[in-house]
Structures are given as C-alpha cells and as structure tokens.
Structure 1
C-alpha cells in the first residue's frame, strides 16, 4: 500500500514523524483533449503588396485547423497563441521571424472572423489573451483559424515572410 512519511522538526525539539497510508486504490484522472496536430505548417500564398499601400491592409489569407481528439465532455477548452519570435507580443500582429527577409509585413490570425491577440507562453487559467474555444467539446473537433498578411509599415521590402506561433491549451 502506498505510504507517505513526513518528518517535522523545529529547532532543538524532538522530531515528529507522521505516516499517511492509503488503503484504497488511487486513480488519477485528468480532463482534457489530445492535440492531433501539434505541428502545423501553413503554406501562405505569394503576397502581391503593390495594391496594398496602406499599413493595416490585409492580403493573402489561408485557413488551417487545430485538431483535438479524445476530449472530456465536461471540460472547458481554452487556448492561447504565442508569438514564438517575440513572446512578449500581446498585439494582434504576429512578428516576422529572424529568418524572414521581407520587411513591412506581419501576420494577422483570426478565429471565426475574430482577430486573435497574442499571449504569454502559458497555459495557466486567466492568461492574458487566452480565450474560450468551447465549454462543451465533442470527442473530436477542430478549431478553425485563418492567417493573413498584414502590411505593418509604409516602407516595404519583398522577400520571404515567416511567422512562428506556439499554442497552449488549458482545460478548466
């Protein structure tokens, strides 16, 4: 049988030993989902930016999904997206990675038409910009997402634009 032994000693006093014995089987159960798409590569269309002269203009959208399986029925599913190139970024624009050669663009991510703000790299409840995906997940479901280029500056330079996101799931 599992036992936990704790010894408590304070100053010069004689130590006291406490033993906790568990007589029944222990079952530890977690509630959540299994992420079936832990690495997602989103090939973006080539961006033609000449017609997008104003900073804030969006172009070149691409849809993708974050797929989940084996979800507990009675759990609330939250997610937080983090800008992997700039983890302190809490804006609505994903930074370009250092490997990018393009300048004056970034990425905008949306979920069901709502712009996603980036979050710290944490799954703790109440994390800044963490959002509720569903409070009644199906056993298998997808989180539909979309990413677009966004012009971030009047001055622009053609090249490769690479963005990296990490996501943290939180089951509450």
Structure 2
C-alpha cells in the first residue's frame, strides 16, 4: 500500500480559444499631472466585422497622471458622445466620431457614465474602444467640436480642474482575423513527494499556442493569456483550480520555455508577424505542477486559460 507521499497526482490543462478583439495600448505615466490628454493617438488597424461588445482597444492613465498622487478620489465624471456632443447621461457606453466604434471609461475595472460619485482610484483608469454593431467605416476618432473631449474626470485632489480625455488616431478596417484552435494539454502523472515544498514544480509538459491564418494589413498582432477564474495575486503564471479538481495545495503554472512564469493579463506581441505578409505562428510554452500550500493532498489537478488576440 502506498503512503500519502507516494500517491499520484494528475492534471488536465485546457487552453481554449477566446476570439476577443482587444487592442492593448499601455501608457507610461509622467511624473506630473496633465489636465488635457489624448488616448490612443496612432494608426489603429482593427477587424472590420467584429461582434457588438467586443473590446477593440485599451488605453490607460495612472493616478499620477490624473491627480499627481499615487491614489485619487473621484468627484464626478462627465461623458461627451462624439467628442463634444451633449452629455452622455448614465449610460457608460458613448459613441465616437467613427461609425461602429463606441467608447467607455473604467475605474478600478468598472465602467461609469456621467455622475457625481466618490470612488478611490487605486489603479490606472482604462479607456476602451468597443464595436457597437454599426458598420465600421473607419476614419478619425477626433471629436466633432472645437474642444473634442470625450471624458472629463474631476477628483477631490484637483476639484477645480477636470482631467479631460480626447480620443485620437485613424481607424482602418481590415478584413479577417487570425484563429487560435482550442487544445487540451495533459501533464504526466507525478508523485506528490516530487513537490516537497511550496513553490517547487514537477511534471513539466511542453505545448504551443498556434495562431493561424493571420491576414495582412495589421500594424501589430498580440495575444493575451487570461486564467479562467482570474489572476491569482502574487502567483505569476498560476491557474486557479478548475471544476473537477480533487487535489489540494497543488495547481498548474504556465511557463515560457525557460521555465519562467508566463505573463498573464497583458498583451504580448506575436513575433514574426509582418504587415505585408501575414501568416501563421507557433508560440512554444510549457506547463508544470506547482506546490502552492504547506498542506497538499494527491488527486486530479485541472486549470484553464483563454487566449485572446488583439490587433492594431
């Protein structure tokens, strides 16, 4: 009869495709607050036919940019459809100057419409562009008025002057997207004593993410790995246990080929993609068991992540 330390753990790791169109544009925060800022401000090549509600682009502003502090507290938010139109009301989603494209502003991951409210901004605010179901005709995001602001955000730290956000950039519709086939990765059965302490790994299995049939015309294509169940704080690359898991104290960590934890929730450029050529690409990865708790029991370990594509 085997002891507990000799019992076997096994795992199934699933990487389904999530065909989300989401452009990630990261912002480097300056050292001082700016009252009038632009989001995006570049050429944006996005799929012509995207389902309503798909996120097309993301842009971030840090609390330091908004109020000159590491944290801010809101006073009010005003939204202006089409970059200067009449107030957007309580609906967080407002139209832009480009047919088929709407926008919204998120604070701590939640979208807000025009209102007075008090919320502490503890992380960068996010401005999104979304497909709204109308025909994407392309064109300039710049608003239709002399002062084309889409959002005005006032804070208790700077009550007299709103942080005003304009949208800039030329949208070019592109026909077609890449595809990412779903797959199941099975890790080998492993004895639990190979995971002797918290942080130790075992049972490594190689796999690859295939990004196929990318059309020509995009300036950049990226992919984002999102754990099903959410990112686990202070546990880079680790997937939450999925339904059907019977083991405890052990999870699955997704890694690069050097064994470093994979970057989650951040767009990563698909190396090798060229605007004039397009093509298919394979991204080598690996997955391992990882001991996450001082007490662990053998059994089945399951985890999953989605792979979303972004274009610009």
TM-score by length of 1: 0.68
8 Å CA contact 1:70, 1:140 repeated in 2: yes
8 Å CA contact 1:107, 1:148 repeated in 2: yes
Q: In the TM superposition, what is the alpha-carbon distance from 1:169 to its structure 2 partner?
A: 1.0
Where in structure 2 are there 5+ consecutive unaligned residues?
1-85, 87-137, 139-171
Which residue, 220, 238, 241 being the options, matches 1:96?
241
Compare the two structures and name the one with the higher strand fraction: 2
Which residue is 1:70 aligned to?
213
Which residue, 198, 204, 226 being the options, matches 1:55?
198
TM-score by length of 2: 0.39
Deviates more, 1:153-162 or 1:67-76: 67-76
Q: Distance in 2 between matches of 1:44 and 1:103?
A: 16
Q: Distance in 2 between matches of 1:165 and 1:45?
A: 19
Which residue is 2:263 aligned to?
117
Which residue is 1:130 aligned to?
267
Which residue is 1:80 aligned to?
224
RMSD over equivalenced CA pairs, Å = 2.5
Which residue is 2:289 aligned to?
149
Higher relative contact order (CA 8 A, sep 6+): 1
Q: In the TM superposition, what is the alpha-carbon distance from 1:80 to its structure 2 partner?
A: 1.2
1:88/1:153 CA distance change after superposition, 3 Å: closer
Where in structure 1 are there 5+ consecutive unaligned residues?
1-9, 11-25, 120-128
Residue 159 of structure 1 pairs with residue 299 of structure 2: yes
| TM-superposition CA deviations, 1:43-64 (whole Å, max 9, x none) | 1101212132111001001111
Residue 42 of structure 1 pairs with residue 185 of structure 2: yes
| TM-superposition CA deviations, 1:59-78 (whole Å, max 9, x none) | 00111112122223554221
**Total equivalences in the alignment:** 136
Q: Distance in 2 between matches of 1:70 and 1:51?
A: 41
- 4+ aligned runs moved over 3 Å, structure 1: 72-75, 88-91
Q: In the TM superposition, what is the alpha-carbon distance from 1:29 to its structure 2 partner?
A: 2.5
Q: Distance in 2 between matches of 1:88 and 1:79?
A: 16
